[in-house]
Chains A and B, each alone.
Chain A
Amino acid sequence: MDTPQSSRYSCTPVSGAPPCTCTGEATIDREIRSTDSTITFANRLDHFLARWGVNRMGHRVEPGLCRLGNPTPESPVFASANYTLSFDALRSSLAGIDAFILVLDTKGINVWCAAGKGTFGTEELIHRIETTALASIVTHRRIIVPQLGAPGISWMEVLRRSGFRVEFGPVRAADLPEYMKTQTATPAMRTVQFPLRDRIVLIPVELVQVIPWAVVATLIVGFLLNWMIAGQLLTAVLAGTVLFPALLPYIPTKDFSTKGLLLGALVMFPFIWVNMAAGITSWMQAGYAITSLLVFPPITAFLALNFTGATTFTSRTGVRKEIFTYIRVMAGMLVTGTVLAAVLFVVRAGGV
């Protein structure tokens, strides 16, 4: 379901502008497309679909040079990724500023991730400077690159090979107007945060990844065992995908696995409480509580651990350490709990 139209709205919002065409890689791409700072309904729909993981890699802008407003040869040049969310954040933040936007081909990936992979990188930047003949379009030799592009871009290399001086702008495009006025980025503009809003917008994509599996598993458990256990399973999954991103900074401990185990245990208490009121023997209640706390928290914890990749601060060393420390704990809890549940089931069926 490839929809090139919707994914290309971003780069040709100006009426009468030529359609985006791809020219040969080695030749000079003389075409400068026009864009503006308006975010249209089509853009918003595209952002919404991107957030929900629809056509995940298809939210692209055509790479090359874009004209924003009416730039002159003295106007600033901003580098961006060819991911609609990145590109749109840049052009909408630059409202009222005449500039050139140099869109790198990051295969539809945002700046930071692309920088980590090297696609938003030194080679691609130099390549785009050359193919767009940027040196003949602007008189200065300055290119403003988002700070989060720095893991992929070496300013020394770019200067040596293209003559352009890389200037690392602020982390967030929203800070660019202030940055352009003062020509400096405050420490706050240089730092990545992970506020509630940024965490919440990630929930949909987390959900669409696990919901199909979770629904199938819930139905199987519901029909084969009982709906209480099915409800617990679904709760554990939703805790890991919805509650966890929202509550991340408020859950005790640093490790995502232990955070997940705590949250997973917490959401099991309503079930345990309901079960206590169900009028079964006290040792059966205890058995139910223990098995619930052994089986379901590891599911939440595993999903929580997988959220590390979506955060803005986990190091590879730390995540690796977590995997080595906790995966066997999670597996151990799950197996022990399942065995215990089976024993309890047999004993109960035996007529206690």
Chain B
Amino acid sequence: MFNSYEKNTLHLDPARCINCGICQTVCPHAVFASGDKVAVLASPESCMECGACMKNCPVGAITVESGVGCAEAMIRAAITGSKNETCGCGGEGESICCGGTDECR
């Protein structure tokens, strides 16, 4: 109830996984853990769909529809009919998005 964040688009294909551990390294929300032979999804509901794991998996075992979880950007895209749902903080219009990550190097 009142939780829209239970499901997401993260998918791990155990058949491809070589248990190299890079997904655990790059994930900022400890979604992955090392299993016996392959990586396991320890906390799939914590995934924020940033796409770091998919980008760095050397065997393409991970898929996720990565994007920015920003309502302002999505509402603006819906209103303007634009397909660009990224934050406006890249210079193409001001946005509050992305403020939260200033601390992160």
Binding site for B on A (CB under 8 A): 50-51, 53, 56-57, 80-81, 83, 85-86, 89-90, 107-113, 115-117, 119, 146-156, 168-169, 171-173, 185, 187, 190-192, 194, 198-199, 201-202, 205-206, 209, 253-256, 258, 305-323, 325, 327
Contacts and interface: CB of A to CB of B under 8 A. Distances in A.
If over half of B's interface residues share one DSSP class (helix, strand or loop), that class is named, otherwise mixed; here it is loop
A205 B48 CA distance: 23
Contacts of A206: 96, 99
Contact of A172 (B46, B74, B104): B104
A325 B1 CA distance: 12
Nearest to B2: A253
Contact of A198 (B2, B85, B100): B100
A317 B7 contact: yes
Nearest to A192: B28
A156 B90 contact: no
A169 to B, nearest CB: 8
Contacts of B52: 115, 147, 150-151
B8 A309 contact: no
Most buried by B among A146, A155, A325: A155
B35 interface: no
Contacts, number: 215
Nearest to A155: B56
If over half of A's interface residues share one DSSP class (helix, strand or loop), that class is named, otherwise mixed; here it is helix
Interface residues of B, number: 56
B91 to A, nearest CB: 5
B2 A80 contact: no
A255 B105 contact: no
Nearest to B91: A57
Interface in B40-59: 46-52, 55-56, 58
A51 B102 CA distance: 9
A255 B104 contact: no
Nearest to A313: B48
The 10 residue pairs across chains A and B that have the minimum distance between CB atoms? A309-B70, A309-B97, A314-B69, A150-B52, A113-B98, A318-B5, A316-B67, A112-B101, A150-B26, A254-B3
